[in-house]
Amino acid sequence: MRNQTAKQKCKIASYDLLNIKRKGGNVKMLKEKGITLVALVVTIIIMLILAGVALNMALGDNGLISQAKKATQKYENAQQKEEESLKDLADDLQTQLRNAGEETVKPHDANWDTDKVTPTSDGKGNVIPVPKGFYYAGGTKSTGFVISDVSGDDLNNSKHGNQFVWIPCTVDEYKDAKDDVMDEKWSSNSQYKDNGDDDWTGAEGGGSGTDWSDNYTEADNTFINGTYKDESEAATLPTNSWEKNQTTVATTSINKYGGFYIARFEAGVPSDASFYSTNETYNTARGSKADTTAIQSYKPISKKGVQAWNYITQPNSKMIAENMYKDGANGTGESVGSYLVDSQAWNRICHVFDSILGTSEEKETAGKTITNSTAWGNYYNNSTTDYSKVTGLWAKHGGTKTGWVAATKYETAQLTNKDRTDQAAGYYSYIELPTGSSDDFRVYNIYDMAGNMWEWTTGHNIKVTDTTNKTEQMFVVPRGGGFNHTGSVNPVVRAHGNNELTYYNFDGGFRVVLYVK
């Protein structure tokens, strides 16, 4: 039995199965206890095929792993390109920032005196003459190029330097800045002539028939203790030694350098002045009521967030403006002359504003033009500015049923919109703001030319007030309206031509203009 062959063993197994079937045995149970060899082979083959397919999908040229690698590579390439583009952009911006405000080797007008100015790039391909003793603070020729007399200052005036904005123009543009748009906004008694050019006749109430001029010398407008002095007496007072005729100064400078600088802010009271106000007091003795000698040693400032220098006459404004840089501090007196702004310069700035704001009927209605400045100036009818966001000390002037009441102190509490409507029946509360208090009042990086303070200009007229005795009297012109007026009737272009030389008020200030030597 031990030596049975495989053939014999198979016969015996077949015989045993046959006997089991004959005896009623359950062959099916035997079959359920295993699989056939064929089934096993087929299963293995199928599994091998599936494994091959899976491996090909995962590891083949177009497999999942290959596709994932390709996707990862594409992402990394795109990321690298983006980083390179951002780096190029950053480098370009850094280059522009480095160029902006720095001395440039780009061509500039050969007439420029580089002992007086530093040719400076605005980072946009323009070269501006920055006077010696001044430094680039920010902005461009198209947005308003700002300089400061303190190095490192910026558009926020964080270094508290005196700031000015470049106004590009030709001599012809300076002289002929007036146009018909402005004609409609001249007040009565204000037929106006600038330097012998075309008459500017006021449409409201008609003109006085007198000619007005910007062209006069310091001696013509030297006011001492309420009386005009002749030229010999005026010569004893400190004067700007460069040139006395401001119109000649302006045209000479503009012809040479292609523009001028206007103070970025209304003239402010220096903190060392004896009449500087505190939050407990509102000092109205700005020098208007005192002798000229009481204020002639002070210099105005053009800084953000300070008290506007009001309660000052036009003659004193002119003298103080010329004080600003006459001593040559930081070399500035050798490079610029400071003056009370003349009306021709004011008009040129209005044209710059007009090019930015536009003149559509919709904007006019909204108070966003040079002939309706309600929405971009501190006027009592400004209903668009959120005054609760205004910063700095402020003062409330207002009326009562018996008359005007001027402010007695500066307020330290945050201004609210209710403060502007808190008033007696039929009277408004008029809010005087510090300089540069809201960006709503800024155009071309210049603050408050519309509203807040009426600003004296050199515009004036000498007319006969007594035909019998041939008595002459000079009248002077402020511009731009004040916080106690409306921006529609007294917009930025408005001139008021019937003010006497002795006139001053809480809504009257001034602004300085610089002409480069």
Looking at residue 376, what DSSP letter applies? G
For 143-162, b/e burial (b = at least 16 CB within 10 A) is ebbbbbbbeebebebebebb
Q: How far apart are CA 262 and CA 510, in angstroms?
A: 12
Structure tokens at 60: 């083949």
Instruction: Inform me whether the pLDDT recorded for 74 exceeds 70.
Output: yes
The whole-chain average pLDDT of the chain stands at: 74
> What pLDDT is stored for residue 101 in this prediction?
57
Angle between helices 246-257 and 343-357 (to 10 degrees): 40
Helices 37-59 and 64-99, axial angle in degrees (round to 10) = 10
DSSP characters over 242-256: S-S-HHHHHHHHHHH
Beta-strand ranges (E) seen in 246-370 are 259-263, 336-340
Question: Looking at residue 425, what is its pLDDT?
Answer: 52
pTM of the model: 0.71
Q: What is the DSSP letter of 410?
A: -
The dihedral built from the CA positions of residue 212, 214, 217 and 219, taken in this order, carries a sign that is: positive
Q: Among candidates 146, 162, 159, which has minimal Cα distance to 446?
A: 146
Amino acid at 370: I
Q: What is residue 224's predicted lDDT score, i.e. its pLDDT? A: 32
| Domain segments of the chain as ranges | 117-354+447-516
179 Cβ contact list (under 8 Å, min separation 6): 351
* 422 token code pair: 């808190």
CA distance 242 to 295: 22
d(Cα 55, Cα 68) in Å, to the nearest integer? 15
Q: Which tokens is 426 given?
A: 């039929």
* Of 119 and 398, the one with more pLDDT: 119
Mean pLDDT, residues 329-345 taken together: 81
pLDDT for residue 29: 43
Return the closest-CA partner of residue 465 out of 283, 217, 210, 215. 210
Residue 337, pLDDT above cutoff 60: yes
Look up residue 417 and give its two tokens. 């919109």
Per-residue pLDDT at 58: 67
The pair of structure tokens assigned to 278 is 């505190």
For residues 200 and 344, the answer to whether their CB atoms sit within 8 Å is no
Residue 416 and residue 451 in contact, taking contact as beta carbons nearer than 8 Å: no
Q: What is the pLDDT of residues 25-59, one digit of tens each?
A: 444 444 445 668 888 888 888 888 888 777 777 66
Residue 159: band (very low, low, confident or very high) from pLDDT cuts 50, 70, 90 = very high
% of the chain at pLDDT higher than 70: 64
Element (H, E) at 174: helix 171-175
Give pLDDT tens digits for 247-264: 788 999 999 999 999 999
* 327: helix, strand or coil: coil
* CA atoms of 316 and 303, how far apart (whole Å): 20
Residue 396, pLDDT > 90, answer no
As a whole number of angstroms, the distance between CA 421 and CA 146 comes to 36
pLDDT recorded at residue 279? 58
Q: Which residue has the tokens 């002095």?
A: 229
Residue type for position 503: Y
DSSP string, 346-359: HHHHHHHHHHHH--
- At 401 the pLDDT is 56
Secondary structure E strands in 52-134: 117-121, 127-131
How many C-beta neighbours within 10 Å does residue 207 have? 21
pLDDT, tens digit (0-9, with 9 covering 90-100), for 161-179: 999 999 999 998 887 755 4
pLDDT(149) > 70: yes
82, containing H or E segment = helix 64-99
**Per-residue pLDDT for 459 more than 50?**
yes
Exposure string over 459-496, b if 16+ CB within 10 A, otherwise e: bbbeeeeeeeeeeeebbbbbbbbbbbbbbbebbbbbbb
CA dihedral of residues 15, 17, 20, 21 (deg, nearest 10): -110
How large is the average pLDDT for residues 313-341? 83
Confidence tier at 311 by pLDDT (50, 70, 90): confident
pLDDT tens digits, one per residue of 186-213: 443 333 333 333 333 332 322 332 344 4
Q: Quote the pLDDT of residue 91.
A: 60
Give the C-alpha separation, 218 to 274, whole Å.
Answer: 26
pLDDT digits (tens, 9 = 90+) for 369-390: 998 999 999 998 898 998 888 8
Q: Element (H or E) spanning 84, and its range? A: helix 64-99
